[in-house]
C-alpha cells in the first residue's frame, strides 16, 4: 500500500490557483521531498492532504484512506509540523505536549522528555517565552511524539540553527529506521539532497517532475565550462544545450544528451580549457524552475 497517493489533486481558492492536477505517490518507508519556489503550492498540497482545506477536484489517500471521508482515522496515523507554529501562548510546553499525547492516546510520556532532551528544549517555559526556533522544537516534538506512521513536515528546519538541524535530521532518520514514511517540503536543496530518496518539484501549482535525488543529479545533465578565444564561441549551439552564459572568453552551459555530438562540436573549437562535471542540485533545480 502507498503511504500517500494523490490523483489529479486540485485546489482553487475561489478563482486563484493553489495546486492543479497533482498526481504522485509515496512508498511506505520513503523520505520524500517536496520542493518549489514561494507560492508554488507546497503548503496547499499539504493542507489539503490533512483535510484543513478541501480539494476542488481530484482525490488523495493516505495508507489507502480517503483524505476527506477518512480524515479522522488519518489524523491518528500522521504527525504534522506546520511551517508556522501557533499555540496557546500562556501554556507551558510540557502541558501542551502532554495534552497532545493524550489526544493521540499515547501513553509513553517519557518520550516527550527524551525528545526535549535531544532538542535541548526547556519544557517548563511558557510558549510565549520561547524564541521562534524553540517554538519550532515544540512543534517537532508534537509531530513526533506519538510515533506516527507518516510524518508530514512543512518547511521543518526554518528557524533551527545548524546544530539543531543535524539533531532533527538524526531524529528523522531514527523514525525512518523504525518504518515511518516522511514527506517534507523545503527550499533548502542541500537538506533535500542529504535526506531524501525521491523529490517532487512543483512550480506554479503543477508538478514538474518526480525523481530519485541521484537521478536528478545524474540525469545526463552535465555542466560544461570552457575557455576559448575562438570567435565562433558566441554562436556555439547544439541540441540539448541549456542555460548558456557567455562572459568574455568563458562560456558555461548545461547539456542534456549524448556525449559524442557534444565532444565533436567542442573539438572543433580552439579551446584553452574545458571542464565537464555533474551540476549541483541547485543548478538542476534552476533548470526545472525556468
Ligand atoms: N488562503 C489562501 N487564499 C487565497 N490564495 C491562497 C491561500 N493560500 C495560498 N494561496 C495561493 O495559493 C498559491 C500556493 O500557495 P502555497 O502557500 O501553497 O505555496 P508554497 O509553495 O507553500 O509557498 P511558500 O514556499 O512561500 O510557503 C499561491 O499563489 C498563494 O497565493
Q: Cα of 9 to ligand 1 centre, how many Å?
A: 15
Ligand 1 near 19 CB (within 6 A):
no
- Measured between alpha carbons, how far is 86 from 128 in angstroms, rounded to an integer? 10
This model of the complex carries an ipTM of 0.96
Last residue of a domain, one of 159, 180, 213: 213
Last residue of a domain, one of 189, 213, 237: 213
Q: Relative to the CA of 18, which ligand 1 atom is closest?
A: 12
Work out the number of other CB atoms within 10 angstroms of the CB of residue 231: 8
Minimal-distance CA residue to ligand 1 atom 2: 13
Ligand 1 near 44 CB (within 6 A):
yes
The reported pTM is 0.82
CATH number of the domain bearing residue 235: 3.30.70
Question: What are the pLDDT digits (tens) for 82-108?
Answer: 988 787 778 899 999 999 888 888 888
Domain that holds residue 193: 2-213
Does residue 139 share a domain with residue 10? Answer: yes
Does residue 187 share a domain with residue 224? Answer: no
Last residue of a domain, one of 213, 234, 260: 213
User: Max CA-CA distance within the chain?
Assistant: 74
Residues 171/172/175/179 CA torsion (nearest 10 deg)? -160
Where do we find the cell 508530514?
Answer: 152
Q: What average pLDDT is seen over the chain?
A: 90
Question: What are the pLDDT digits (tens) for 103-117?
Answer: 888 888 799 999 999
Q: Cα of 16 to ligand 1 centre, how many Å?
A: 9
Q: Relative to the CA of 46, which ligand 1 atom is closest?
A: 18
Minimal-distance CA residue to ligand 1 atom 1: 13
Amino acid at each position: 500500500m502507498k503511504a500517500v497517493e494523490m490523483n489529479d489533486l486540485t485546489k482553487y481558492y475561489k478563482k486563484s490557483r493553489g495546486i492543479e492536477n497533482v498526481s504522485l505517490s509515496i512508498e511506505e518507508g520513503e523520505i520524500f521531498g517536496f520542493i518549489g519556489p514561494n507560492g508554488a503550492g507546497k503548503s496547499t498540497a499539504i493542507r489539503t492532504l490533512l483535510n484543513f482545506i478541501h480539494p476542488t477536484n481530484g482525490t488523495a489517500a493516505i495508507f489507502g484512506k480517503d483524505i476527506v471521508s477518512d480524515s479522522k482515522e488519518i489524523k491518528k496515523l500522521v504527525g504534522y509540523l506546520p511551517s508556522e507554529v501557533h499555540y496557546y501562548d500562556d501554556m507551558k510546553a510540557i502541558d501542551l505536549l502532554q495534552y497532545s499525547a493524550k489526544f493521540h492516546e499515547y501513553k509513553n510520556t517519557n518520550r516527550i522528555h527524551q525528545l526535549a532532551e535531544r532538542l535541548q528544549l526547556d519544557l517548563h517555559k511558557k510558549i510565549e517565552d520561547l524564541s521562534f526556533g524553540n517554538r519550532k522544537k515544540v512543534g517537532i516534538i508534537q509531530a513526533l511524539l506519538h510515533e506516527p506512521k507518516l510524518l508530514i513536515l512543512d518547511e521543518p528546519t526554518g528557524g533551527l540553527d545548524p546544530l539543531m538541524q543535524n539533531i532533527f535530521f538524526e531524529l528523522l532518520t531514527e523514525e525512518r529506521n523504525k518504518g515511518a514514511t516522511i514527506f517534507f517540503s523545503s527550499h533548502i536543496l542541500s537538506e533535500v539532497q542529504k535526506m531524501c530518496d525521491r523529490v517532487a518539484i512543483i512550480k506554479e501549482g503543477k508538478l514538474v517532475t518526480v525523481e530519485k535525488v541521484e537521478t536528478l543529479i545524474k540525469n545526463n545533465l552535465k555542466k560544461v565550462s570552457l575557455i576559448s578565444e575562438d570567435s565562433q564561441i558566441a554562436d556555439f549551439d547544439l541540441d540539448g544545450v541549456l542555460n548558456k552564459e557567455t562572459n568574455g572568453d568563458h562560456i558555461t552551459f548545461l547539456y542534456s544528451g549524448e556525449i559524442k555530438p557534444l565532444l565533436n562540436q567542442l573539438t572543433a573549437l580552439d579551446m584553452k580549457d574545458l571542464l565537464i562535471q555533474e551540476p549541483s542540485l541547485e543548478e538542476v533545480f534552476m533548470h526545472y524552475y525556468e
